[in-house]
């Protein structure tokens, strides 16, 4: 398994759209994504725990006038998204390899316009609550880097995680709309037919997809 990952790690090291430890931008990009990487003033959108970057790449195709950054700690997964973006010649895509807990090292307050959190690990056991990406600690961090009235989108097949998140999210965000059955909801058009590998798998097994859109509660 490790040997199969090595070519992907090498790919990341050579790919300009991957920012990771050892590259100059890794320590200088904070607050300067538009200036140093994208070279434009367009909105910045993050996909957190992006995995293979299906949403990062998919949304970048839908919105060529927005800048998309997929963030994950797994280099072998990021390499797949990076290659797809490169194959599609997408210039509005970047990937950042870092744990979510270090986001403030890469983004200034109010630097980000939107955040997408798509099928994160539900961390189902009670003792794992602090690792859930809709834990209050993480939500506060996301809110800090979002601009005033910045948008937060959350999607999960795990209903217990969704229930938990309906309690934690309103402490930092105003929920604008929600559904516990996205595929049979009028909100389905908000996803442009973009599905992750695991979402296709879960839907084929009969799981419902939970979704919400929210807005930062920060006061201007």
In angstroms, what CA-CA distances link 162 with 1, 19, 36, 176? 33, 31, 37, 15
Question: How many C-alpha atoms does 177 have within 13 Å on its Cβ side?
Answer: 8
Report the b/e string of 61-79 with b at 16+ CB within 10 A.
Answer: eebeebbbbbbbeebbbbb
Is-catalytic flag, 121?
A: yes
Contact 152, 146 (CB under 8 A): yes
Active-site annotation holder among 113, 121, 126, 149: 121
Tracing tokens 């990021």 back to the chain, one arrives at 78
Provide the annotated active-site residues. 121
């Amino acid at each position: 398994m490790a040997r199969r990952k090595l070519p992907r790690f090498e790919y990341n090291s050579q790919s300009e759209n991957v920012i990771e430890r050892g590259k100059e931008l890794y320590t200088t990009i904070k607050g300067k994504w538009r200036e140093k990487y994208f070279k434009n003033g367009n909105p910045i959108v993050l996909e957190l725990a992006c995995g293979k970057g299906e949403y990062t790449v998919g949304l970048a195709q839908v919105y060529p006038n927005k800048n998309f950054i997929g963030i994950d700690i797994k280099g072998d997964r990021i390499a797949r998204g990076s290659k797809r973006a490169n194959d599609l010649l997408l210039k509005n895509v970047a990937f950042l390899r870092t744990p979510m807990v270090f986001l403030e090292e890469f983004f200034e307050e109010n630097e980000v316009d939107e955040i997408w959190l798509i099928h994160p690990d539900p961390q189902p056991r009670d003792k794992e609550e602090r690792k859930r990406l809709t834990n209050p600690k993480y939500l506060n961090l996301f809110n800090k880097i979002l601009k005033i009235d910045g948008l937060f989108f959350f999607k999960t097949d795990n209903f217990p995680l969704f229930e938990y998140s309906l309690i934690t999210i309103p402490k930092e965000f105003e929920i604008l709309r929600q559904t516990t059955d996205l595929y049979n909801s009028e909100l389905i058009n908000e996803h442009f037919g973009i599905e992750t590998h695991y979402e296709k798998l879960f839907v084929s097994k009969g799981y419902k997809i939970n979704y919400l859109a929210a807005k930062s509660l920060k006061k201007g």
